[in-house]
């Protein structure tokens, strides 16, 4: 209690709220729109350079999201539709590579992201634009039915604050300075790992471009860490948008789970990220929790079909990256024990205690306290017949707590992000060998593992068997 009380004193020293500003919301929004020169703004094209960061792909639980260089960045937005086209040239931002997000980027990576008007993604685009452009924030405020206006003084600076409920039912706040420039927008969004996650954007250094004021520095943060840091150098108000559809979007949801028998009581489950189900004497062990509640439910259902009348007692987690831990909460709700590297326990306990009110998941509906068994350098799971060996993959830049999962009887190695095979069988060594793949080879040699087949969590698109010979090709070695 003492700590909480002492924290209140400086808060009151820098913040002062008034019951109202004497202005109604409609007047405030109209004044801000006019000040920005956006009364007749229909489209906008802006370009520059900076950095982007990939949420949930940090090398360690305590690290920021990994950084990439946006050598060029151009985005065209149709505010009315809404529709958007973003094009950028992206480069490796951290050397040596640290974390995920498709690292390492070799050379220059061209990316185009299109959300066409009327597409399934267009609804979510409105909320994303609200956090990206001051004009879109004002449009969202004007469309909301519960806008309130207050005055706030923060660090000696006065703001007019517009607050309303966003489309996702989270509170949105926008801070307008004395010149009616939108300086900051904040809200919360759902993240299936972090829960209700803070999302904020800071707009600064406004300049006039053809009568429209545009912030030349935009910084966005999610979960407390930057996700975009953009310096804008050119803006074209009401430029032709010409945003054509990028093609038919993929069907929603994950494909059905399918399975392959690897050995006696050992099954590979596909239909998404690869997982394994192992028939222990009195229970089932699942290897890899997957991306989401939906994927976890599909894997558990397939495992129960393959191994009926046994509980799922353990789920082995290769590492904490969100696309590999997003489904763990479903296993916690199931009562399963999470087997993970020791560096992840405190992190999981902290984030799994976060509220999930914006998109309640299985664990939020059926809360249970997580149970863990931890791996330091090595752990063996066995029932006297089946054997699963877990090893810490040392000195890996992708993730500090990565586990290799080895099945000695089957001579099968399950791995995540050390070797991500291409869509077709690799027949020649790449010009640049990924340091993550080289590290995996070094760990296999260090541990003296006899590997015949590799199960990549990121399974190849053609669903082929990945044999050790292909992995050797990837690292420039022959059988």
Report residue 252's pLDDT band, with 50, 70 and 90 as the boundaries: low
pTM, to two decimals: 0.91
Token representation of residue 373: 């068994």
Q: Is the dihedral of CA 13, 17, 18, 19 positive or negative?
A: negative
> Using one digit for the tens of pLDDT, what is the confidence trace for 386-397?
999 999 999 999
Check pLDDT > 90 for residue 285.
yes
Distance in angstroms (rounded) separating the CA atoms of residues 248 and 231? 32
> Using one digit for the tens of pLDDT, what is the confidence trace for 255-266?
788 999 999 999
pLDDT at 364: 97
> Using one digit for the tens of pLDDT, what is the confidence trace for 37-80?
999 999 999 999 999 999 999 999 999 999 999 999 999 999 99
pLDDT at 254: 66
Q: Is the dihedral of CA 434, 440, 445, 449 positive or negative?
A: negative
Check pLDDT > 90 for residue 283.
yes
Task: Taking residues 99-128, report their average pLDDT.
Answer: 93
Check pLDDT > 60 for residue 170.
yes
DSSP state, residue 120: T
- The HSE-up count of residue 107 (CA atoms within 13 Å, CB side) is 4
> Using one digit for the tens of pLDDT, what is the confidence trace for 222-241?
999 999 999 999 999 999 99
Q: Which of 457, 407, 466, 416 is nearest to 439 (CA)?
A: 416
**Least confident window among 12-26, 72-86, 129-143:** 12-26
> Using one digit for the tens of pLDDT, what is the confidence trace for 397-418?
999 999 999 999 999 999 999 9
Q: What is the largest CA-CA distance in the chain?
A: 79
Q: Which of 154, 382, 349 is nearest to 279 (CA)?
A: 382
Q: What is the assigned CATH class of domain 22-237? A: mainly beta
Percent residues over pLDDT 90 in the chain: 89
pLDDT mean across residues, the chain: 93
CA 153 and chain centroid, separation: 34
- Using DSSP's 3-state secondary structure scheme, residue 398 falls into coil
DSSP 12-55: HHHEEE-S--S--HHHHHHHHHHHTT-TT--EEEEEEEEEEE-T
| Domain residue extents for the chain | 22-237, 258-474
Report residue 454's pLDDT band, with 50, 70 and 90 as the boundaries: very high
Q: What is the assigned CATH class of domain 258-474? A: alpha beta
Task: Taking residues 6-15, report their average pLDDT.
Answer: 39
């Amino acid at each position: 209690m003492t700590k909480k009380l002492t924290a209140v004193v400086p808060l009151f020293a820098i913040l002062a709220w008034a019951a109202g500003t004497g202005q109604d919301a409609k007047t405030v929004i109209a004044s801000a729109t006019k000040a920005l020169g956006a009364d007749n703004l229909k489209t906008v094209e802006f370009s520059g350079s900076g950095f982007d960061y990939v949420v949930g792909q940090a090398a360690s639980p305590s690290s920021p999201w990994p950084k990439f260089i946006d050598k060029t960045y151009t985005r065209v937005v149709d505010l009315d539709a809404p529709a958007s086209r973003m094009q950028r040239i992206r480069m490796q931002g951290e050397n040596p590579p640290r974390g995920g997000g498709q690292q390492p980027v070799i050379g220059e990576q061209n990316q185009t992201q299109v959300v066409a008007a009327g597409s399934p993604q267009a609804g979510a685009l409105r909320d994303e634009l609200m956090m990206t452009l001051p004009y879109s924030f004002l449009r969202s405020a004007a469309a909301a039915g519960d806008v309130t206006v207050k005055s706030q003084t923060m660090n000696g600076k006065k703001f007019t604050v517009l607050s309303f409920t966003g489309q996702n039912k989270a509170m949105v706040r926008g801070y307008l300075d004395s010149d009616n420039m939108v300086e900051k927008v904040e809200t919360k969004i759902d993240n299936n790992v972090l829960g209700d996650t803070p999302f904020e954007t800071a707009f600064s250094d406004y300049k006039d471009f053809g009568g429209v004021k545009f912030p030349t520095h935009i910084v966005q943060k999610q979960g407390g860490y930057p996700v975009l840091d953009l310096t804008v150098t050119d803006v074209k108000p009401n430029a032709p948008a010409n945003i054509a559809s990028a093609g038919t979007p993929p069907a929603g949801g994950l494909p059905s789970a399918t399975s392959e028998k690897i050995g006696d009581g050992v099954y590979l489950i596909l239909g998404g990220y690869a997982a394994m189900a192992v028939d222990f004497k009195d229970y089932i062990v699942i290897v890899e929790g997957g991306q989401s509640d939906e994927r976890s439910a599909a894997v558990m259902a397939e495992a129960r079909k393959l191994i009926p009348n046994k509980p799922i007692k353990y789920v082995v987690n290769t590492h904490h990256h969100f696309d590999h831990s997003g489904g763990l909460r479903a296993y916690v709700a199931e009562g399963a024990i999470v087997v993970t590297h020791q560096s992840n326990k405190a992190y999981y306990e902290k984030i799994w205690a976060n509220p999930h009110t914006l998109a309640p998941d299985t664990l939020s509906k059926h809360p249970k306290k997580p149970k863990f068994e931890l791996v330091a350098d090595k752990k063996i799971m066995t029932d006297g017949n089946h054997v699963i060996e877990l090893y810490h993959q040392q000195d890996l830049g992708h993730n500090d707590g990565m586990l290799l999962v080895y099945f000695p009887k089957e001579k099968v190695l399950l791995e995540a992000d050390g070797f991500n095979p291409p869509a077709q069988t690799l027949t020649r060594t790449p010009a640049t060998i990924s340091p993550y793949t080289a590290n995996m080879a070094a760990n296999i040699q260090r541990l003296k593992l006899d590997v015949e087949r590799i199960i990549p969590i990121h399974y190849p698109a053609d669903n082929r068997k990945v044999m050790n010979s292909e992995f050797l090709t990837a690292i420039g070695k022959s059988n």
